[in-house]
Structure 1
């Protein structure tokens, strides 16, 4: 057994708080927003909650009072959980940057501190070392909270990148997290994306998925019913609900977007989003069968 396998096995034996992970069939299906929704939902139930995303690629940063950087998405999710943003909630932040030769690279932040700008291949070469640290950070954060709500990245079924994964199924497995898989019906092909994603997962990964969510639906729900029945037949996974398309007055995260920096001086901007976060908690309570999750 390698040191890496031994470390993960030993670390995962430590008792961890219950955890839920939001994954998606692709980027921009609503993972960040729904992670915030679940943070607010469990906070309202009286639990001490923290968000967590092992690795985030974003040009939108939140700078803590001690000058450390995390993604604004995790800062927003922290506000949803009513806790102060903490670098442990986003231990690895990748900020897209240009290298001196004009090619694309990333500025790597570890626990909020820049490790420099490097080619993505150089970062990949250090991923195992980083994942060891991610596990240690997660275990520490978990020990201080009742529930952790994790966010995945992109799709867990990027089979060409499976060996590089530290944010989706590998993290879910370490955290013993129950995984909800989200599909975006607005862009079309939601049934194919859900079925295809599950088909490409390894059996142990598939076992981590406890339910499916269809997001951004417009129209008559009855039209979907035959598809939902077939979805259950194909996947043997329950659809926990269909969320309607709504205009969410929350900042979108986009790694290709322009840079944005928030700091404690304008943290009030996040606090002003509380009504929208409350509405998200109402939304998931209304449209999702949350009893199926059985997190606590």
Structure 2
């Protein structure tokens, strides 16, 4: 079995990626599919401890619950637990391997790609669908090399991408347009559509902007 996949990325942190992935997981599970969540690299101080004593991101544990399956560390193979502005403990496949500075971690990321791919493949070989969550923003062009959070993962597993933006913060049209602008042609080709998250109010006021956005980024607003 080789799973189909979809990846939810965002214009930044806290735009709702985790909740959207959780929702997709539950919908696919309710539709009868064997589904699993996956987030290659997560950054969080608090972790979830699996039944076999391994650490993973708490969001992926919640997503596994939405899938109606037991959380596994391979659902979040790289967990960064910040210790300062420039230093984090690095947890790989549920086990701490030490602390690294931000610069040292950048150099170390190339070694983690194989682990990320192996973890994903293990899930993909035993599920129908894997719902992948990005981290931060794919438009962090200074971190593009050896990326294991966003488009680097999408390329590694050949995933279609949906980008979410948070209208509650303001500037959602600029955020989505700017994100698309900063992607490479190859990355942009992976984006199948965008989602405007956290909208409240009268949809009729938003609709003219949705059409203008679609004309600019050449991608549909999916919801």
Q: Same fold (TM over 0.5)?
A: yes
1:186-265 equivalences in 2 (<5 Å): 186-241=168-223
Distance 1:56 1:239 in 2: 27
Aligned to 1:42: 28
Does the 8 Å CA contact 1:152/1:167 hold for their aligned counterparts? yes
**Aligned: 1:131 with 2:113:** yes
Superposition deviation, residue 215 in structure 1: 0.6
Does the 8 Å CA contact 2:55/2:94 hold for their aligned counterparts? yes
Distance 2:2 2:111 in 1: 21
Distance 1:196 1:226 in 2: 19
1:166-177 equivalences in 2 (<5 Å): 166-177=148-159
Does the 8 Å CA contact 1:16/1:175 hold for their aligned counterparts? no
Q: Secondary structure at the match of 1:186?
A: helix
- Unpaired runs of 5+ residues, structure 1, are 1-14, 242-296
Cα offsets for 1:220-255 (capped at 9, x unmatched):
1001111111111101100011xxxxxxxxxxxxxx
Does the 8 Å CA contact 1:38/1:149 hold for their aligned counterparts? yes
Superposition deviation, residue 161 in structure 1: 1.0
Distance 2:143 2:105 in 1: 14
**Aligned: 1:91 with 2:77:** yes
1:102-141 equivalences in 2 (<5 Å): 104-141=86-123
Aligned to 2:162: 180
Aligned to 1:264: none
TM-score, scaled to structure 2:
0.97
Distance 1:131 1:63 in 2: 23
**2:66 paired residue among 61, 77, 80:** 80
Cα offsets for 1:6-37 (capped at 9, x unmatched):
xxxxxxxxx84210111000110000011000
TM-score, scaled to structure 1:
0.73
Superposition deviation, residue 159 in structure 1: 0.8
Superposition deviation, residue 163 in structure 1: 0.9
Does the 8 Å CA contact 2:146/2:152 hold for their aligned counterparts? no
